[in-house]
Amino acid sequence: MNVETFKYDNRIVRAFGIATIVWGIVGMLVGLLAAVQLFFPDANLNFQFITFGRIRPLHTNAVIFAFVGNGMFMGVYYSLQRLCKARMFSDWLSWFNFWGWQTIIVAAAVTLPLGLTTSKEYAELEWPIKIAITIVWVAFAVNLFGTIVKRREKHMYVAIWFYIATVITVAVLHITNSMTMPAGLFKSYSMYAGVQDALVQWWYGHNAVAFFLTTPYLGLMYYFLPKVANRPVFSYRLSIIHFWALVFLYIWAGPHHLLYSALPDWAQSLGMVFSLMLIAPSWGGMLNGLLTLRGAWDKVRQDPVLKFMVVAITAYGMSTLEGPLLSIKTVNSLSHYTDWTIAHVHVGAMGWNGFLTFSMLYYLFPRLYRTNLWSTKLANYHFWIGLLGMMFYCVPIYIAGVTEGLMWKQFNHDGFLQYPNFLETILQVVPMFRLRAIGGTLYLVGAFMMAYNLYRTAKAGQFEPDTEAQAAALEKAPVAAGKSAFHRMLEGKPLFFTVLATVAILVGGLVEIVPMFLVQQNVPTIASVHPYSPLEVLGRDIYIREGCLGCHSQMIRPFRSETERYGEYSKAGEYVYDHPFLWGSERKGPDLAREGGKYPDAWHFNHMDDPRSTSPGSIMPRYSWLLTQKIEVDTLPSHLIALRRIGVPYPVGYENGPAQKDLQAQADKIVANLKLGSVKADSDKEIIALIAYLQRLGTDIKSAPVTTAAK
């Protein structure tokens, strides 16, 4: 037997580890700032770049892609080398992956506060950054597959399967959902419109959770848990079933984000049924994890690494039970748009991803520095303060969510809405928002404690840049015969395995998305729906820039409680020119789908200047900069051309003169309306464009059919 000596690369693991800690703290801090603004709107200091609508996507992106993303790379780069008994395929690619990813994070941290966003949740970054993500991800994929190819262990352990599924699926999701038409260096419009955009977005959004936050972390669980507990996984058989059932099912569940929306019923039902079926593999995985600790629970009492892991796996079980339950249409009719969803995702993010990341960091740093953890006591304090923080975060927000849902639906004895003023329902839960911020603070304090503990550990030890290892070279052996030969061959043939996994993840997407694009009846057209006017297009761009959809939905569901409050329920045909769709997923303010004509222009002007002047107690931030900043009229031609290229019927040449004339005429009309309301404003200010857009919302179905485009 030819035994080879080689070295594992620890430098790259350490680099990703440090990035995980730094970005984790940054992401949580931004989350805390956003949380505080929900009960103290002036916490943005009237500074547009840190206003809720802009930093909410910064928080989600930082936590998902910077904190968990770096944590994932850290764990994969450590475990993959050891499971393959080989150094990473290319050190250069490893470092390209590292610096490329950090550059993307910095680019996100700069562009999102500037309002450069596509508005599609968890895919907000503009097209040049999306291209950079693709390149870095391909580098990671080449490095991963290269390492697998040069491995010294014949069989691929189940963790590697999860890594492969992650690499493939994230690539498919990212590319499909990023199809945009550039309209400038940092502006683009989604190729898809309305219902189709919504379906693609939530197919992506849901599976970003599945294949970025779940599958890689399950792979890491299957590696690190046996390692820490020093015993093999409870059932390897179960892990095989867990893997295949999970990757096949997850991809179908996206439409559960669009229940009771204008999405066709068949797609909603598919999303619901497959979400429910997901309980089985998810709980199979959770039980496999927890049962691995059978006979080792005494260790859990002592070892903080295991404590964090047990809570992480339990949180995974809780959120994967709750997710399918929230996908049941009746439950969803209450929970959707409320804070219930926020609580649900935070059980997953803080419990599953956060705690598993903490456990990996506590496991890895002492080993990378070849010393014991500096303070077990401090790690234990971190565990308890983190757990308390999670409780203080989630429990009040669950209460808030259910309260909101019930209040929105409540009718009085006379058949009228009990709480017709939306603001009343939000003010009711503001105390819960305060408690949530306390919970978030506790969780953040825990993260600081960990950072200090790991820093002291590093100081006390000696970093080992390369770990020497030995293993026999992989020799070509004949494939075993018998019943299990197929599977053993599969484990030994990464390419064949990858093809099968790709087919498994593609089936669900194809069955749901292809008919949506091909079958005309899925989006019935409405003759009176026409494209946005030039001023409305620019107003819509401002709406996107400010992240208004973080708090305001544009999708009225067909419930009496919604039609009473907002008006006629939303139809698929109303959104055919909406590139991108702006349905939103959360209501901290009322739905705006039928906002047009509800209030006079002057009301909108005053409301944007100071929301509390028109709605006492409102938690909406002031948008006073819209009153002074000028509309970027020079961007109009490129925006109209981009929209025409993706199917919006603006006449050729419309952008060279006629559009500007129409824009000025509409702006002058709004200025005249404002004058009637005793408001003096210039026609070239951003507030005018935003008012034009808001006054247009939902009015098409009330007007007569229009035959001329852009009129």
| Cα separation, 276 vs 271, whole angstroms | 9
In the three-class reduction of DSSP (H, G, I as helix; E, B as strand; rest coil), residue 369 is classed as coil
Residue 155 · residue 493 · CB < 8 Å: no
Q: 246 or 688: whose CB is closer to other proteins?
A: 246
Q: 188 or 261: whose CB is closer to other proteins?
A: 261
CA distances from 698 to 286, 591, 701 (A): 45, 11, 7
Stretch of residues binding other proteins (CB under 8 A), selected from 39-47, 77-85, 575-583, 598-606: 77-85
Q: x-or-dash pattern for other proteins, window 377-406, by CB under 8 A?
A: x-x---------------------------
Q: 6 or 599: whose CB is closer to other proteins?
A: 6
- Site size toward other proteins (CB under 8 A) is 75
Other beta carbons within 10 Å of 37? 23
Residue 440 · residue 28 · CB < 8 Å: yes
Residue from 88, 373, 442, 537 that binds other proteins (CB under 8 A)?
373
Burial 300-326 (b: 16+ CB within 10 A, else e): beebbbbbbbbbbbbbbbbbbebbbeb
Stretch of residues binding other proteins (CB under 8 A), selected from 266-274, 394-402, 630-638, 666-674: 266-274
| Token reading at 222 | 């299957």
Q: How far is the CB of 56 from other proteins (least distance, A)?
A: 32
DSSP character at residue 586: B
In the three-class reduction of DSSP (H, G, I as helix; E, B as strand; rest coil), residue 111 is classed as helix
If you compute the radius of gyration of the chain from its CA atoms, what whole number of angstroms results? 26
Q: 252 or 581: whose CB is closer to other proteins?
A: 252
| Cα separation, 225 vs 105, whole angstroms | 29
Does the footprint of other proteins cover residue 83 (CB under 8 A)? yes
Helix or strand run (H / E) with residue 207: helix 194-208
Q: How far is the CB of 474 from other proteins (least distance, A)?
A: 13
Residue from 90, 176, 376, 699 that binds other proteins (CB under 8 A)?
376
With residues binned 3-state (H G I as helix, E B as strand, rest as coil), the percentages for the chain, rounded to 5, are 65, 5, 30
Site for other proteins in 299-338 (CB under 8 A): 299, 302-306, 329
Site for other proteins in 245-264 (CB under 8 A): 245, 248-249, 252
Does the footprint of other proteins cover residue 285 (CB under 8 A)? no
Q: How many CA atoms lie within 13 A of 253 on its CB side?
A: 26
Q: How far is the CB of 78 from other proteins (least distance, A)?
A: 9
Does the footprint of other proteins cover residue 451 (CB under 8 A)? no
Stretch of residues binding other proteins (CB under 8 A), selected from 373-381, 444-452, 626-634, 666-674: 373-381
Residue 303 · residue 361 · CB < 8 Å: no
Q: How far is the CB of 503 from other proteins (least distance, A)?
A: 10
Residue 687 · residue 627 · CB < 8 Å: yes
Does the footprint of other proteins cover residue 226 (CB under 8 A)? yes
CA distances from 401 to 96, 365, 398, 405, 659 (A): 43, 39, 5, 6, 44
Does the footprint of other proteins cover residue 456 (CB under 8 A)? no
Residue from 270, 535, 626, 631 that binds other proteins (CB under 8 A)?
270
Does the footprint of other proteins cover residue 157 (CB under 8 A)? yes
| Cα separation, 273 vs 97, whole angstroms | 38
Residue from 132, 153, 506, 709 that binds other proteins (CB under 8 A)?
153
Site for other proteins in 476-515 (CB under 8 A): 482-484, 486-488, 491, 504, 507-508, 511, 515
| Cα separation, 628 vs 449, whole angstroms | 44
Residue 577 · residue 570 · CB < 8 Å: no
Q: x-or-dash pattern for other proteins, window 91-130, by CB under 8 A?
A: ----------------------------------------
Site for other proteins in 159-188 (CB under 8 A): 159
Q: How far is the CB of 54 from other proteins (least distance, A)?
A: 38
Dihedral sign, Cα of residue 432, residue 434, residue 440, residue 441: negative
Q: 248 or 393: whose CB is closer to other proteins?
A: 248
Residue from 25, 29, 43, 82 that binds other proteins (CB under 8 A)?
82
